[in-house]
Amino acid sequence: MKKLQNKVAIVTGASRGIGRAIALGFAQEGAYVIVAARSEVEKKELPGTIYKTADEIQNLGGRALPIRCDVTDEASVNGMVQKAIAELGRIDILVNNAGVAFYYPVLETPFLRWELVLRVNLTGAFLCSKAVLSKMIEQKSGSIINISSLAANERDGATISTGLAYAVAKAGLDRLTYGLASEVGKFNIAVNCLKPKHVIDTEGMRFWVKEEERKDWVSPEKMVRCAIFLAQQDASGVTGVVATDEEYFAWHGL
Ligand SMILES: NC(=O)c1ccc[n+]([C@@H]2O[C@H](COP(=O)([O-])OP(=O)(O)OC[C@H]3O[C@@H](n4cnc5c(N)ncnc54)[C@H](OP(=O)(O)O)[C@@H]3O)[C@@H](O)[C@H]2O)c1
């Protein structure tokens, strides 16, 4: 029996990067994956679309449903979740992975950019979580996984390099994780946060960082294995935890 057999999982930001890797990993474990992001047409500087990820899953024998979704737009989020429920009848797992950074200090951060970074990384997770909760409550189980960053914990250079808007948004996402975990535990829903310990080589990171500075980057493999582990949780298991992939590996023998 595969670990996520017959589970329905929404992965936001699954058109590329870590989200795509998690979507592929979930599908290989038997989940039906909703590939949710905005890109329907390939962009030169940021490759990947929802259809491409869904095709990759199907070519590997998995099941996927691509649905366009902008996580900053409540109607778009609700429409995506309603379509998923109409087609598949249930939602077991939500991965709030969609994210954007802005690699500049506050003095060089326009208001609209500040707002966008908070809306994608934090408000998007709130909107997607809210949209799936009533179905998960009805099912009396569910797992929500928020993809955060060590930028939320840094107080010096690292925070400045990824931009303070991003660090603040991810700190909010950490806080949302354990607050929501305690709110929805009584409905048997787990909420956890997963952060990479090391920089993951993704299309988004390549966009921002010059080739000569891409040292010690790693593949998303450990993130995928942790996401599969967290996707299997409900409130009787691991919940309310904010930790890195390395920590989940060490604590749970992954
Ligand atoms: N890579 C790392 O080292 C690293 C480190 C720490 C944390 N993280 C976190 O891990 C997550 C994934 O990062 P990544 O490196 O894989 O990034 P990426 O390659 O830039 O991919 C980001 C994804 O987010 C989606 N997205 C952006 N805005 C969206 C919106 N408004 N609505 C829906 N989807 C949206 C993008 O899809 P569309 O453009 O198609 O919408 C894309 O699929 C992010 O939350 C990031 O903060 C990454």
pLDDT of residue 159: 58
Task: Tell me the average pLDDT across 221-248.
Answer: 98
Active site residue 166: yes
- Which residue's CA is minimally distant from atom 17 of ligand 1? 204
In this structure, what is the dihedral angle of CA atoms 114, 118, 120, 126, given to the nearest 10 degrees? -160
Contact 20, 106 (CB under 8 A): no
Phi, psi (rounded to 5 degrees) for 149:
-150, 150
What percent of the chain stands above pLDDT 90? 91
- Which residue's CA is minimally distant from atom 16 of ligand 1? 17
Taking the centre of ligand 1 as the mean of its atom positions, its distance from the CA of residue 3, in whole angstroms, is 25
Residue ranges of alpha helices (H) inside the chain are 17-28, 50-59, 74-88, 111-118, 124-139, 157-162, 164-184, 203-208, 221-231, 245-252
Ligand 1 neighbours by CB, cut-off 6 Å: 12-13, 15-19, 37-39, 69-72, 97-100, 120, 147, 149, 196, 199-200, 202-205
Q: How confident is the model at residue 208 (pLDDT cuts 50, 70, 90)?
A: confident
Identify the active-site residue in 32, 103, 166, 178: 166
- Which residue's CA is minimally distant from atom 25 of ligand 1? 13
What percent of the chain stands above pLDDT 70? 98
Mutation to probe ligand 1, out of 18, 95, 213 (largest number of atoms < 8 A from CB): 18
Is pLDDT of 158 > 80?
Answer: no
Secondary structure of residue 156 in the 3-state scheme: coil
Nearest ligand 1 atom, CA 198: 3
Q: pLDDT, tens digit, for every residue of 96-130?
A: 999 999 989 999 999 999 999 999 999 999 999 99
pLDDT of residue 160: 65
Give the Cα separation of 252 and 143 in Å (integer).
17
- Which residue's CA is minimally distant from atom 19 of ligand 1? 204
pLDDT of residue 155: 82
Pick from 62-71, 123-132, 170-179, 203-212: least confident: 203-212
Task: Tell me the average pLDDT across 20-46.
Answer: 96
Classify strands 189-195 and 63-68 as parallel, antiparallel or unpaired. Answer: unpaired
Give the Cα separation of 132 and 78 in Å (integer).
9
Average pLDDT over the chain, rounded to an integer: 96
Is pLDDT of 88 > 90?
Answer: yes
pLDDT of residue 125: 99
pLDDT of residue 254: 94
Domains in the chain and their CATH numbers? 8-252 (3.40.50.720)
Taking the centre of ligand 1 as the mean of its atom positions, its distance from the CA of residue 205, in whole angstroms, is 9
Could you tell me which residue, 71 or 210, shows the higher pLDDT?
A: 71
Give the Cα separation of 105 and 233 in Å (integer).
38
Q: What is the DSSP string of 5-17?
A: TT-EEEEETTTSH
Is pLDDT of 3 > 90?
Answer: yes
Phi, psi (rounded to 5 degrees) for 198:
-120, 160
Report if pTM > 0.85. Answer: yes
Is pLDDT of 185 > 70?
Answer: yes
